[in-house]
Amino acid sequence: MHFEQFYLGCLAHASYMLASEGEAVVVDPQRDVEIYLKAAEANGVSIRHIFESHLHADFVSGHRELAARTGAKIYIGAQAEAAFPHVAVRDGFHLQVGRISITALETAGHTPESICLVITDQEKSAEPWAVLTGDTLFLGDVGRPDLSRRYSPVQLAGMLYDSLHNKILKLAENVLVYPAHGAGSLCGRNMRAERFSTIGTERLTNYALQIRSREEFVEQLTSNLPARPEYFLQDAEINRTGAAALSELPALSSIEPAELKTLLAEGGIALDVRPGEQYAAGHVPGSINIALSGQFASWAGALLGLAARPVLIAESQEAVSEARMRLARIGLEDARGYLKGGVEAWIEAGLPLSTLPQISVEALREKLGGGGLQVLDVRREPEWAAGHIEGAGWWPLDNFKVAPPEIDRDVPIAVHCKGGYRSMIACSLLERAGFRNVTNMVGGFDAWQQAGLPVVTEKPVEA
């Protein structure tokens, strides 16, 4: 059996290919499907089957394009009510692919249609070798239960408990666990960074599997859920019908500096995808910085929404293309264009640049002693609860989609997150919202702790 995991770090998304005797199966494909076609060619196999573990909410799947290009069948849980040609999968569904046996388990909970795939490599054993758990079971966590229009989080959490204990945990301790997401995904809240585990390891270490009472499980799973980006439900609906091929998207238009200046004056969005250091050194006034180096697409979707029509600002055409691809992966397809010539062209046109001051943790500590400076922490609540700077205000970056924090615009603001990525985004959003004395704390809370500076813990009060 050939088995391969494809991990897309910017979305913390794992997809899979299994093959035997010239026939291949792809599970939970990302939107740009060339990666699977190349892998199939390299291994001398043909893709004949595509499984979706559920209707993904955090990215747009490539199942429809991959099926069109290979002639493969698509399999998805019967509860999905999928609008594309598919095989509706119910509990116990079995597919034989060469010497690979695939058995589906209906595991409602994260979503009503969720399925897990039990894999047996018959070349080695008659017993199950692994289970592809989709978003039902993660490493260290389980799927969030608030992504359905039909069922309440309480109902889904109850279903998830039953699916885990009546089906997944019935598998042998040595069965490998391969989920659809890893650390950083918003489909859960406590995932580990490893790429696979075992049923036995998860039984011992996964907090959600330590909860013995169904009632307590439901209570814990529905309390303090991480913010759900607006685009999640939109992506699930796109996946229900199947997205268009990436090749069908129109080419991006080049935007001259003067045109961008006019668009910004009219309320348009300029999305600067350069590294934070470059943005801080000089950027188009009013532009938003979401660097390609981090979870770019997830933050763009959460903060801008799928209907946004940003003008991309990048350091190269390659970076423009990469940004366009990543945005399309989460369904943000209608970018207005890109700034022709980048920031250099803006400068050559005689247009002004803005800069973003940065401050070290040691310098910030000294200034805090003298007063006249407010600190804004934009991390998520569990991060804040684990420790924060005394006197800091708290407004998680997720909340910026709704409104900027209610803080004094006349008092200088130093913004920080864990390591500096989210704080740069927040600084750019604050500047766009009219805050004029914003500074980024270099290195974030990690640097603060590494410097041995004091930390407190208390329940957060939103700024």
Task: Check 10, 187, 417, 427 and give the catalytic one.
Answer: 417
Q: Find how far residue 105's CA is from the centre of its chain.
A: 25
- State how far the Cα of 387 lies from the Cα of 86, in Å rounded to an integer: 48
- State how far the Cα of 159 lies from the Cα of 150, in Å rounded to an integer: 13
Nearest alpha carbon to residue 293 among 260, 264, 317, 315: 315
Backbone angles phi, psi at 179, to 5 degrees: -90, 175
From residue 375, alpha-carbon distances to 286, 408, 434, 445 in Å are: 22, 11, 17, 12
- 417 as an active site residue: the answer is yes
- Kindly report the number of other CB atoms within 10 A of residue 321's CB atom: 14
* Residue 241 burial (10 A CB sphere; 0-12, 13-18, 19+): exposed
Buried/exposed code over 353-380 (b: 16+ C-beta within 10 A; e: otherwise): eeebebbebeebeebbeeeebbbbbbbb
Q: Find how far residue 245's CA is from the centre of its chain.
A: 21
Q: If DSSP codes are grouped into helix, strand and coil, which group holds residue 150?
A: coil
Q: Give catalytic residue positions.
A: 417
